Amino acid sequence: MNRFVLATVLAITCLGTAAMAGVTEEDLLKDQESTENVLTNGMGRNLQRYSPLEILNKDNVKNLVPAWAFSLGGEKQRGQESQPLVYDGMMYITGSYSRMYAIDLKTGKEVWQYDARLPEGILPCCDVINRGAAIFGDNIYFGTLDARILALDLKTGKVKWNKKIADYKEGYSYTAAPLIVNGLVVTGNSGGEFGIVGEVQARDAETGELVWTRPMIEGNMGTYMGKESTMTGTLNATWPGDMWKTGGGATWLGGSYDADTDTLIFGAGNPAPWNSHLRNAGTPVEGNKGDNLYAASRVGIDPKTGEIKWHFQTTPREGWDFDGVNEVVGFVDKDGNKRYATADRNGFFYVLNRADGKFVSAHPFVKEINWAKGIDENGRPIYNEENRPGAPDAAAEGGKGQQVFAVPSFLGGKNWMPMAYNQKTGLFYVPSNEWGMDIWNEPISYKKGAAYLGAGFTIKPLFEDYIGSLKAMDPNTGEVKWEYKNGAPLWGGVMSTAGGLVFTGTPEGEFIAFDADTGEKLWSFQTGSGIVGQPITWEQDGEQYVSVMSGWGGAVPLWGGEVAKKVNYLNQGGMVWTFKLPKQLASAN
């Protein structure tokens, strides 16, 4: 980059940060250790979802009691996947249908509400959910289902700016929590089932103006300061013909930030269409021609310029809808090495080197995986090609290709629901599901704004007595230290604390605290609706609080097939439940 341009950008960034009141870059950097606030999605931009608080612990968690509950009200419910944020005496949550609420932290009373007023014709893949917001300066930022990003005033909820990420009429949407880094609002996009192109965008937090864009699919051009920068990858290096123009790779879960290496890490979803035979990926080809980069990958990005530093593709030649978007969590292993961990939709738990994203190890975290025999020394799958759905057959009814039964299902060994890492135990707590699918390929052609799958599927449970499985996993060895089995699929986030606790919720509505070392259930509370939200904890007036959103929905009721029928009795809802450990009970046995 030109030195003058770089100096100008840095000067603008510094001036913008200095002019911002309220939350600073330093505050975001220290979010995990600051126990009175929760400023970021993931309780820290490394997404460990770990709190150093120890007021609440294994001995006294049984004394955790409700403090207040807040209803999202109205008829707009469906899935509530948001993670609350806490700042300056207020809680901020996003709700289904692109709504935001500010709640008084002491009373649970609504202070303001914002409704995005969505247009007709939005095309969300997997429910009308929203996964959270971001705070910087005196603004709060969140995205909408019609693929926009907004900045609202923290105190009043009034719109500061409202910018378009992409065209919702083409199938784009946005559901993730934005990420703030050095005065930039960084967003991804959703819509991988519609033949869109995954992209990461960075905007000036004060004005909303674009600084850079980085497409995830080879052949597409990035931009910097309003001009074309570099092409992603090499044109047609791993894609046939013009398929890179509709290649998928949606960045629909957002990203993390590693301050040690000054790197954004975003995941890219499935290549489009699902039918791998149309992408020269159905059978092994020379070199990596059929890999379809950078779909199904984790990508390290320079936050200043949007240039790609490194990539790691979890599922080259992807053909089962094994998105590569799952969160990348920075941690330090038992030998003091700085690593990343990510539990992929394909059923394998990967450890990567933080300096360059290189492969370190991979271990299965769900049972009976059959699409691959394992992962080789370079991190590439060792395929079971007989478990790849067959090419469309012109002679078959409807052109249907050979059907196979593949494990895990397309909803993944782990889907979007975030895992947690405990710095004391050194374990990851991974919410997973044990299921497979009948899957087959069909003919398909691209049409703007229409579904672009080229596949059919039916999800089936693997075991009669459970589907959901919360696993405590050692990232160094891949050993599962303990497992909690749940009848319905797990679809909510996990949080861990220095007090030796692990919190998560179930679709049956139960909010649970486990012993982080043993998996023993120590406390639970019935919230009245399925939990697909993300728990948080903070300290207030010397007492420790825990909060989670309750409201059944998400992808399982929409896409789950036989599994969806199994849990169709579950009620929708829209509540924030907040609990506290009263001071007088903190030392009670």
**What residues act catalytically?**
321
Nearest-CA neighbor of 540 among 35, 92, 151, 64?
35
Q: Is 175 flagged in the annotation as binding?
A: yes
Strand, coil or helix: what is 586?
coil
Identity at 171, one-letter amino acid code: G
Cα gap 148→157, rounded to integer Å: 16
Q: Is 153 flagged in the annotation as binding?
A: no
Where b means 16+ CB within 10 Å and e means fewer, 547-561 reads: bbbbbbbbbbbebbb
**CA geometry: angle 489, 491, 497, nearest 5 deg:** 120
Contact present, 421 and 331 (Cβ < 8 Å): yes
Q: Is 270 flagged in the annotation as binding?
A: yes
Strands (E), 139-283: 139-144, 148-153, 159-164, 179-181, 184-187, 199-204, 210-215, 221-224, 227-231, 255-258, 263-267
Q: Is 422 flagged in the annotation as binding?
A: no
Q: Is 99 flagged in the annotation as binding?
A: no
- Helix H or strand E encompassing 9: helix 3-19
Instruction: Tell me the CB-side half-sphere exposure of residue 436, using CA atoms within 13 A.
Output: 15
Q: Is 31 flagged in the annotation as binding?
A: no
Report the residue count for the chain.
589
Contact present, 295 and 217 (Cβ < 8 Å): yes
Return the HEC string of 448-463: CCCCCCCEEEEEEECC
User: Residue 565's CB: how many other CB atoms inside 10 A?
Assistant: 10
| CA distance readout (Å), 586 to 34, 123, 583 | 21, 48, 5
Contact present, 120 and 126 (Cβ < 8 Å): no
Q: Is 415 flagged in the annotation as binding?
A: yes
Q: Is 182 flagged in the annotation as binding?
A: no
Annotated binding site for pyrroloquinoline quinone: which residue ranges? 81, 131, 175, 415-416
Annotated binding site for Ca(2+): which residue ranges? 193, 270, 321
Annotated binding site: which residue ranges? 81, 131, 175, 193, 270, 321, 415-416
